[in-house]
Amino acid sequence: MSKIEIRNLTVDYTEKKNRFTALSDVSFSIEEGEFVSIIGSSGCGKSTLLSILEGINTPTDGEILIDGEPIKGTGTDRGVVFQHYSLFPWMTARKNVAFGVKQVNKKASRAERLRIADEFLDKVGLEQFKDKYPSQLSGGMQQRVAIARALAMDTDVLLMDEPFGAIDAKNRTILQELLLELWEGDGTGARKTVVFVTHDIDEAILLSDKIVMMTANPGRVYQEIKVPFDRPRNRGELVQTAQYNKFRNKLLSMFYSDIADKIGGEEVVL
Amino acid sequence: MTLKKRYLRVVHALFIVFLLIQLIPDSLTTDTAAAYVIWFVIGVEALTLIVSALIKKPVSLDLFVDIVAFIYGLLIAWTLATAKFDLLKQSLFPPPGRVLAQFVEDYDKILVNIQSSVGIILQGYLLAIAVAVPLGLFLGWSARLGSAATYISKFLGAIPPIVYIPYGIALLPTFRSVSVFVIFLATFWPVLAGTMSGVMNVEKKTIDSARVLNVSPFTMLFSIMLPASLQQIFIGCNQGLTVSFVLLTSAEMIGAQSGLGYYIKNYSDFGDYTRTIIGLIVVGIVIVFISFIFNRIQKFLLRWKQ
């Protein structure tokens, strides 16, 4: 049984009497401990898909099963990192993480929650910033706190909606490597199941086991591609190999052939 | 801060000026109690010097010193216009020394009146906040989900609280309870409206962030909505506080046997303008003091804002 099973998911929106289909009959599955990226141009419904996984949206048709159980709304089995820094501005970094821990672990004492918060803030390299409010932190730091919170909640599934989309290039690279390192761990423990939405092909290759490429109008799955690189991965080494470039080019041509199909074939020069 | 920046200030020149004008002989009016003002000013000057030595932020020192300079300026003008040159009508404008001496004499009585007014305000005000905030959170939340709560509260809030007074008098036994009731209403509506609009304007991303953490409805209201709408709640509280003072002092002038409004009205009826002026000053000080505390609380609770 797959960890997550997405079955015939369809989402229609009605806006000013115009009906449009954000997702049309989307089905695929994700195995336990798998890191899956969903990639596609804007409007392909990748964020809609994730919002249904989060439990914030409900589908018009179809369902999502986690461990064989259909999901009904939000749940403590899923941790979420949004693109917008989802921290609560009135809580310090530490309180933000501890608040997340409290929601999944009601039994933990206050001291215990704060200890867990400290542990994960250390992991994301924010030892010095625990007592700062989000407004005192840069975007990259806020996203580190959000990642620390999602990890500290210790959920089976981690949902990440373009988490590095609003972060400058240099910090994005650093955060990708941090995420990779935290997720891969030392290779002995069980890895979390991650669903990661992005529009950055390099990011998707670096992080994922599988890439689900989506296409717009209506949002459908275009291709599912296994990423053939061993772990633990190292960006520096990986990008220099011929296989990497070949794989990357293959993905890019798929990505653009889809767009070319849409806007009329040969006239598009890539 | 340099020594020069700390101590070389206009305020100290005004202090000297104040002492010098005491040398001008009194005109028709003799301010027999001038010593009170002189000692008061010397006390203030001593305090200013101590504060100048201790204060750390130049901005705060500027602020403090400006306030003291204003007080000195006022006292100089007041002394010159009354005791020294007799420019104003004596019975309406007593010299500052006499006012201060009367203040010292009436100190206990004034304190009782302050207690009475502030007690009523606090009771009605805090009660209103305690009821309006949770209710506003709840109604705001259900209004977000689409209910008529907003319109109902807009209608009820539009009624000026003072028009409830006659009904309140019919309904309630004592002046005190009527006052508390009216202040309750005067605070209740703006706080309720502020809370509701605060809740309705909480960003969707904040709510989504809380939802994916699977918070309980109680946590959603009190740990997320409450802090997220705090700024708007404070706007309502501020408005309530201002209106409460206006209402209470007016009400006290009409029907009370105690309170600051009563003190002013009572003595001005007897033509005792020395005490009337004391009443005005005390009302001002009390309001400034309460606003100060209020701002401190607000600043502390909103310290996470930039």
Mean pLDDT for A157-162 is: 93
Establish if A91 touches chain B: CB-CB under 8 angstroms.
Answer: yes
* Number of domains into which chain B is organized: 2
User: Which CATH number does the domain housing residue A59 bear?
Assistant: 3.40.50.300
* CA A94/CA A80 separation, integer angstroms: 17
Q: Which of A87, A90, A103 is the closest to B214 by Cβ?
A: A103
Domain assignment of residue A187, yes or no: no
Q: Are residues A24 and A89 in the same domain?
A: no
Residue owning tokens 């909103």: B302
Domain assignment of residue B14, yes or no: yes
Domain assignment of residue A216, yes or no: yes
Chain B nearest-CA residue for A91: B304
Q: Is the pTM of this model over 0.95?
A: no
Q: Which of A54, A99, A134 is the closest to B212 by Cβ?
A: A54
Q: Are residues A62 and A91 in the same domain?
A: no
* Number of domains into which chain A is organized: 2
Q: What angle do CA B143, B146, B147 make, to 5 degrees?
A: 65
Orientation angle between helical segments B273-301 and B260-269, nearest 10 degrees: 160
Answer whether A89 sits within 8 Å of B304, measured CB to CB.
yes
- Joined together, the tokens standing for residue B221 give 């209201």
Q: Are residues A15 and A29 in the same domain?
A: yes
Q: Are residues A164 and A256 in the same domain?
A: yes
What is the phi/psi pair of residue A225, to 5°? Answer: -125, 130
The model's pLDDT over A242-255, given as tens digits with 9 standing for 90+, comes to: 999 999 999 988 88
Q: Are residues A90 and A204 in the same domain?
A: no
Q: Are residues A34 and A163 in the same domain?
A: yes
Answer whether A90 sits within 8 Å of B219, measured CB to CB.
no
Residue in B107, B120, B103, B106 with CA at minimum distance from that of residue B256 = B120
Chain B nearest-CA residue for A55: B212
Contacts of A90 in chain B (CB under 8 A): 227-228, 230, 304
* CA B191/CA B199 separation, integer angstroms: 12
User: Which CATH number does the domain housing residue B257 bear?
Assistant: 1.10.3720.10
Domain assignment of residue B259, yes or no: yes
Domain assignment of residue A249, yes or no: yes
Q: Are residues A104 and A210 in the same domain?
A: no
Under 8 Å CB pairs connecting chains A and B tally to: 55
Query: A270 pLDDT band (50/70/90 cuts)?
Result: very low
Q: Output b/e per residue, B209-226; b: 16+ Cβ within 10 A.
A: bbbbbbbeeebbbebbbb
Which residue range forms the structural domain that includes residue A115?
78-155
Which residue range forms the structural domain that includes residue B66?
3-93
Q: Are residues A139 and A17 in the same domain?
A: no
Mean pLDDT for A2-25 is: 87
Domain assignment of residue A119, yes or no: yes
Answer whether A82 sits within 8 Å of B224, measured CB to CB.
no
Report whether pLDDT(A261) > 70: no
Q: Which of B212, B219, B227 is the closest to A74 by Cβ?
A: B212
The CB-side HSE value for B134 (13 A sphere, CA atoms) comes to 8
In this prediction, residue A112 carries a pLDDT of 95
Which residues 213-232 of B are in CB contact (within 8 Å) with A? 213-215, 219, 223-224, 227-228, 230
In this prediction, residue A80 carries a pLDDT of 93
Cis status, amide bond into A232, omega within 30 of 0? yes
Q: Are residues B150 and B111 in the same domain?
A: yes
Neighbouring-strand partners of residue A11: A23
Residue owning tokens 């209004």: B143
Q: Are residues B88 and B115 in the same domain?
A: no
Q: Which of B206, B211, B306 is the closest to A74 by Cβ?
A: B211
Say if CB B138 and CB B226 are below 8 A apart.
no
The CB-side HSE value for A203 (13 A sphere, CA atoms) comes to 25
In this prediction, residue B40 carries a pLDDT of 93
Domain assignment of residue A176, yes or no: no
Q: Looking at A155, A187, A216, which one is the last position of a domain?
A: A155
Report whether pLDDT(A269) > 50: no
ipTM of the complex: 0.85
Say if CB B201 and CB B283 are below 8 A apart.
no
In this prediction, residue A267 carries a pLDDT of 46
Cβ neighbours, 10 Å, residue A111: 9
Q: Which of B206, B212, B303 is the closest to A56 by Cβ?
A: B212
Q: Output b/e per residue, A12-33; b: 16+ Cβ within 10 A.
A: eeeeeeeeebbbbebebbbeee
Domain assignment of residue B306, yes or no: no
Contacts of B298 in chain A (CB under 8 A): none
Chain B nearest-CA residue for A99: B213
Q: Which of the given ranges, A82-86, A245-249, A266-270, B90-94, has the highest pLDDT on average?
A: A245-249
Residue in A21, A31, A50 with CA at minimum distance from that of residue A224 = A31
Chain B nearest-CA residue for A158: B212
What is the phi/psi pair of residue A153, to 5°? Answer: -75, -15
Say if CB B149 and CB B291 are below 8 A apart.
no
Q: Looking at A155, A176, A206, which one is the last position of a domain?
A: A155
**Residue-level pLDDT, tens digit, chain B, 306 residues:** 777 778 888 899 999 999 999 888 887 666 778 889 999 999 999 999 999 888 888 888 889 999 999 999 999 999 999 888 888 887 788 889 889 999 999 999 999 999 999 999 999 999 999 999 999 999 888 877 666 766 777 777 788 887 888 888 888 888 889 889 989 988 998 999 899 989 999 999 899 999 999 999 999 999 999 999 999 999 999 999 999 999 888 888 887 888 999 999 999 999 999 999 999 999 999 999 999 999 999 999 999 987
